Amino acid sequence: MNTRAFLIPLTIATVLLYVLAIVVLFIVKKPMPDAVWVLIPLYGAVTYFLYQMIASASSKSPHRFIASVNASVLVKLFMSACIVGGYFYAQLPGKKALAFAVMGIYAIYTTVLIGALLPVIRKGNS
């Protein structure tokens, strides 16, 4: 399990998300919820810890690996639902923008996580 190698694509994804948020902010010319700027590093940190959990579980047993993948999906989806639900409940402006941003952040970090886990899983099966 090489967690330092995972930090490179994770950092690239974080920078890409910030650049994308800035570009969207200037193109759409509508205010973006301030929570988006905090959610990018939050999802990055959660993705890093989930990578560590799944990578260590892949070397122990297939059942533990499947359980950790399921747990990671549950954690990230529940976190997303809580963030969006709390934002809607608080009646803050830009609800639709936040919901789209959360799903975009979720999708990009999940893609990075899967891309980094595939070599770990292949190496474990060999």
Contacts of 70 (CB under 8 A, 6+ apart): none
pTM greater than 0.85 (yes/no): yes
The string of pLDDT tens digits covering residues 23-78 is 998 998 888 899 999 999 999 999 999 999 998 888 888 899 899 999 999 999 99
Distance CA 111, CA 94 (A): 26
Q: Which domain holds residue 94?
A: 3-125
Total domains in the fold of the chain: 1
Contacts of 40 (CB under 8 A, 6+ apart): 14, 17, 18, 21, 105
